């Protein structure tokens, strides 16, 4: 697995996951929608920790900065 997520992308995903978790914990979102959003939040956290998003592969996307050659 080659990394394809930059630090800004990872940070945004973790913040969104934390917001979803907080909304679920306060019963602002619940039921089927709440469970689906929690699953998406868990996927966001997992992909953030491994710095790899499988959905980026088919589109050739990468949010990593390119290293400059000195």
Long-range contacts of 41-44 (CB under 8 A, 24+ apart): 41/16, 41/17, 42/17, 44/13, 44/14, 44/16, 44/17
Q: Which residue has the tokens 């978790």?
A: 21
Q: How confident is the model at residue 48 (pLDDT cuts 50, 70, 90)?
A: very high
| Average confidence (pLDDT) over 25-53 | 95
pLDDT of 1 above 90: no
pLDDT of 63 above 70: yes
pLDDT of 55 above 70: yes
| Average confidence (pLDDT) over 13-36 | 96
């Amino acid at each position: 697995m080659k990394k394809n997520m930059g630090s800004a992308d990872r940070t945004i995903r973790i913040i969104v996951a934390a917001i979803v978790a907080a909304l679920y914990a306060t019963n602002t979102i619940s039921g089927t929608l709440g469970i689906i959003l929690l699953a998406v939040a868990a996927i966001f956290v997992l992909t953030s920790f491994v710095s790899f998003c499988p959905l980026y592969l088919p589109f050739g996307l990468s949010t990593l900065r390119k290293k400059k050659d000195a």
